Amino acid sequence: MKLLLISNSTNAGEGYLEHAFPHIKSFLGSKQAEILFIPYAAVTFSYDEYEKKVSQKFIEGGYQIKSIHHFTDPVAAIKKAEVIAIGGGNTWKLLKMIRENKLIEPVREKVFSGTPYIGWSAGANVACPTIRTTNDMPITEPDSFEAFCLIPFQINPHYLDVNPEGFAGETREQRIREFIELNPGIYVAGLREGTMLLIEGKNVKLIGPKSARIFIKNAEPFEAGNNDDLSFLLQKNI
């Protein structure tokens, strides 16, 4: 299993996927594969526009992007995919379209058989068992919150340590503590901007300039860095 799960697509002051692309190229290697892109998280722009935006970046590495919305049979497209990439946007809409197109099991089968998977933001969320640790507003309703379950833990992309000045509502940490209170035994990895998780087989490595914040019920949240062994995240604790 090979996964690259990225917190965000754009760092402040940088271009689209600029911070992540060196790691994407390292992840994919020199193979000039065609990448099957899933744009379903797009809401205020078209799938064609999303495909073009992603293609403009990936072509820098010699990779070709083909969006799944061009295929009359999305399941067949997944079965033939050399690489699967899923972009950010609204996680609820993304999962709704994934489930309506019956892609859960086909993607699981492909990834567990070795097909590389790249997901950023919402695309990282749907690699988890559910999307219940997304930050997005539920603008639409999938028939279930259950996602691909490629990993047994949850990710909270765009993790923030504090709220904006003058805002007195719940912090991100408080919201995640609510999740683990009702979902004991499930780790949550808070991925800060500019970071990502590389998962190869049973190995999990954090990449990026910031640490990740790890949550599990009945323990204090703790920081994990680039030199830490994060393989424990793949172990179920129920």
Query: What pLDDT sits at residue 166?
Result: 77
Q: Is 208 left (phi over 0), alpha (psi -120 to 50) or beta?
A: left
136 is catalytic: yes
DSSP labels, 37-83: EE-TT-SSS-HHHHHHHHHHHHGGGT-EEEEGGG-S-HHHHHHH-SE
- Tell me which of 136, 144, 229, 231 is the catalytic residue: 136
- Tell me which of 7, 9, 67, 121 is the catalytic residue: 121
Residue 75: name the closest of 107, 36, 27, 37 by CA: 107
Residue 50: name the closest of 40, 60, 58 by CA: 40
- Tell me which of 23, 55, 158, 228 is the catalytic residue: 158
Query: What pLDDT sits at residue 35?
Result: 97
Q: What is the pLDDT of residues 117-169, one digit of tens each?
A: 999 999 999 999 999 999 999 999 999 999 999 999 999 999 998 777 777 67
Structural domain 2-234, CATH architecture: 3-Layer(aba) Sandwich (3.40)
132 is written with which tokens? Answer: 């219940």
Q: Give the DSSP letter of residue 32.
A: -
> What is the overall mean pLDDT for the chain?
95
Query: What pLDDT sits at residue 237?
Result: 63
Query: What pLDDT sits at residue 41?
Result: 98
Cut 0.75: pTM above it: yes
| 3-state SS, residue 159 | coil
9 is catalytic: no
Domain regions of the chain by residue span:
2-234
Report the distance separating Cα 161 and Cα 73, nearest Å. Answer: 42
67 is catalytic: no
Report the distance separating Cα 152 and Cα 150, nearest Å. Answer: 7
Contacts of 150 (CB under 8 A, 6+ apart): 1, 3, 107, 108, 111, 112, 117, 127, 128
Query: What pLDDT sits at residue 111?
Result: 98
Enumerate residue ranges in the chain where pLDDT < 50.
none
Amino acid type, 60: E
